[in-house]
Amino acid sequence: MAGGGSAIRGSRVGAGPMGEAERGDTAPRQRIVFFCANGHETATWFAVEAAIPEEWDCPRCGLPTSTDVNNPPPPPKIEPYKTHLAYVKERRSEQEAQEILEEALAKLRARRARGEVIF
């Protein structure tokens, strides 16, 4: 008995000659070049009737790019991580914080004076 095999061994589904007749005509395309702040150049193909984006991500460094070689977009500003306290301090002045603290302590002392259990 011969080894179990298939008559289509070595081929894959959909394999065969692929020509313009089977695929149809390709849409007219244009080559657009984008430039990033690090001097990288990225060429991408777009359909002629497609809207060209103003910015594109550089595949080499991830910075934003534009089509203007002399004026690429600047790198985005990375802001440091802020704690909850930092956000609170942005919203409240030192005097407001002191007033809120005094009010909270007054309520706590009043509850203790009444004999309430506070956890």
- Which residues are known binding-site members for Zn(2+)? 36, 40, 58, 61
- Is the Cβ–Cβ distance between 92 and 75 less than 8 Å? no
Can you say which residues are annotated as belonging to the binding site? 36, 40, 58, 61
Q: Quick check: helix, strand or coil at residue 102?
A: helix
d(CA 50, CA 103): 62
* Residue 34, H or E segment: strand 29-36
